[in-house]
């Protein structure tokens, strides 16, 4: 029998980062000493206290039973306590907080609970690719909202066509931003909430990088009065605590949306391993000692990398947070041409801006999630490149 895959599946392009992993493996197999800065996967090990907590939690037989889809109460209460300390916000742990199998999972599922075929979802361009997944699967339509450097990589809400806004159900945003490194302040969120309430648009703000900031800590969109009527915010343990492999994230905010997402998930998954959830609860409880050293590592890496790229003639806006530098090469060229040129001539793999959307064309994303010595070596190699030889 010939197996025919679904039309929906065929409409997906391979996930950008999987493509880049494949490229890296193929080049390494040829014996090349490739350094990859293509993917944002923190190299810093998870703090020892978190690991020790997880080990003792794994030994508890109660944790070997099915978890609760919306997450265990211990973690949901710690999340509420953390948001109170950090943003001064109170979330009721039973219906305004839900645990996810990494924030990616919740982001991919959210469109199913609000979108009907034909509804629009606004997608930032450039974007984290997973915002598209649930929209495609729920039969929704997408409108790409330009995030341009001249606007500090914030959306120009007034430029989104009225006929699109009228059919829009959902808008994904992400600050501190992957890939641009842009941050949003409370004034931006106030305008956004006003616009969203007026136009009946649900906002899903993705705060995966909220704790990797290089200036003042950024606000939550939910600090804006009335935001809770229309918004949810996604969080992740992956970058904040360098726990990417542990697969824990969470969503907070509008209780109708949080409960609806949970209702959907009850029919799909059973939540993450309770031992891992309790380890993240420990991380949140000890946040103020665990996170500052991690933030400092990324701040220093961002400083050093910006300095090195500027010396090599690259152009960029300094990131306000996150794990990436979003920069344009010394000569104007297509992102993919620059990626292949650097791979071939310097054995450095990076992510092409065009892979994040049309407005990413011309940019390269450097990930700062490799050890300092490797980052330094990539800069040394990049500085040797003769961009006049690109395409020759």
Ligand X SMILES: Cc1ncc(COP(=O)(O)O)c(C=O)c1O
Q: Is 108 in the site for ligand X (CB under 6 A)?
A: no
Q: What is the dihedral of CA 250, 252, 256, 258, to 10 degrees?
A: 0
Q: Specify the stretch interacting with ligand X by CB under 6 A; choose among 96-104, 115-123, 305-313, 382-390.
A: 96-104
Question: One symbol per residue from 123 to 142: x for binding ligand X (CB under 6 A), - otherwise; what is it?
Answer: -----x--------------
Render 286-355 in DSSP notation, one character per residue. Answer: THHHHHHHHHHHHHHHHHHHHHHHHHTT-EEPPPSBSSEEEEE-SS---HHHHHHHHHHHH-EE-EEGGG
Q: Within 65-84, which residues bind ligand X (CB under 6 A)?
A: none
Contact status: 321 vs ligand X (CB under 6 A): no
Instruction: List C-alpha distances in Å: 130 to 12, 42, 161, 270, 368.
Output: 11, 19, 24, 21, 21
Site for ligand X contains 168 (CB under 6 A)? no
Footprint on residues 193-222 left by ligand X (CB under 6 A): 206, 208
Name which of residues 351 to 380 contact ligand X (CB under 6 A): none
Which DSSP helix (H) or strand (E) runs through 233? strand 231-236
Candidate segments 97-105, 211-219, 293-301, 375-383, binder of ligand X by CB under 6 A = 97-105
* Nearer to ligand X among residue 57 and residue 233 (C-beta): 233
Q: Is the dihedral of CA 11, 15, 18, 22 positive or negative?
A: positive
Comparing CB distances to ligand X, the nearer of 40 and 329 is 40
The DSSP secondary structure of 122-175, one letter per residue, reads EEEES--GGGGHHHHHTT-EEEEEE--GGGTT---GGGS-HHHHTTEEEEEEES
- Nearest approach in angstroms of CB 379 to ligand X is 23
Query: Using an 8 Å Cβ cutoff, are 80 and 91 in contact?
Result: yes
Which residues lie closer than 8 Å to 18 by C-beta, 6 or more apart?
none
Of residues 109 and 312, the one with the C-beta less far from ligand X = 109
102 touches ligand X (CB under 6 A): yes
Number of chain residues interacting with ligand X (CB under 6 A): 13
Closest-CB residue for ligand X?
102
Please list every residue from 12 through 71 that binds ligand X, using CB under 6 A. Answer: 40
**In the complex with ligand X, which residue's Cβ is closer, 102 or 329?**
102
Q: Does 240 bind ligand X (CB under 6 A)?
A: no
| 284 counts as binding ligand X under rule CB under 6 A | no
101 close to 264: Cβ distance less than 8 angstroms: no
100 or 327: CB nearest ligand X: 100
Query: Which residues here bind ligand X, judged by CB under 6 A?
Result: 40, 102-104, 128, 174, 178, 206, 208, 236, 238, 244, 249
């Amino acid at each position: 029998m010939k197996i025919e895959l679904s039309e929906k599946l065929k409409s997906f392009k391979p996930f950008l980062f999987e493509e880049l992993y494949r490229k890296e493996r193929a080049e390494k197999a040829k014996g090349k000493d490739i350094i990859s800065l293509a993917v944002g996967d923190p190299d810093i090990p998870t703090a020892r206290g978190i690991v020790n907590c997880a080990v003792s939690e794994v030994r508890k037989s109660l944790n070997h039973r099915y978890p609760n889809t919306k997450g265990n109460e211990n973690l949901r209460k710690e999340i509420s306590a953390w948001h109170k300390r950090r943003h001064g916000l109170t979330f009721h742990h039973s219906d305004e907080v839900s645990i996810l199998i990494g924030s990616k999972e919740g982001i991919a599922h959210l469109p199913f609970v609000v979108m009907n075929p034909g509804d629009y979802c606004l997608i930032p361009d450039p974007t984290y690719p997973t915002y598209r997944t649930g929209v495609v699967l729920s039969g929704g339509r997408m409108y790409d909202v330009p995030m341009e450097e001249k606007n500090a990589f914030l959306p120009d809400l007034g430029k989104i066509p009225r006929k699109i806004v009228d059919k829009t159900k959902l808008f994904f945003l992400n600050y501190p931003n992957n890939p641009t490194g842009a941050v949003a302040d409370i004034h931006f969120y106030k305008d956004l909430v006003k616009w969203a309430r007026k136009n009946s648009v649900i906002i899903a703000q993705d705060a995966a990088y909220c704790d990797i900031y290089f200036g003042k800590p950024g606000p939550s969109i939910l600090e804006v009065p009335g935001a809770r009527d229309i918004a949810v915010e996604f969080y992740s343990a992956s970058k904040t605590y360098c726990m990417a492999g542990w697969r824990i994230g969470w969503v907070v905010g509008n209780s109708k949306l949080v409960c609806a997402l949970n209702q959907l998930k009850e029919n799909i998954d059973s939540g993450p391993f309770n031992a891992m959830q309790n380890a993240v609860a420990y991380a949140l409880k000890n946040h103020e000692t665990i996170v500052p050293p991690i933030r400092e590592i990324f701040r220093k890496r961002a400083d050093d990398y910006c300095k090195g790229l500027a010396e090599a003639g690259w152009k960029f806006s300094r990131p306000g947070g996150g794990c990436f530098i979003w920069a344009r090469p010394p000569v104007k060229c297509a992102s993919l041409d620059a990626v292949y040129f650097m791979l071939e001539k310097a054995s450095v793999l990076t992510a092409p801006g065009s892979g994040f959307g049309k407005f990413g064309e011309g940019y390269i994303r450097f990930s700062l999630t490799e050890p300092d010595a490797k980052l330094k070596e990539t800069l040394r190699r990049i500085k040797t490149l003769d961009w006049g030889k690109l395409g020759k």
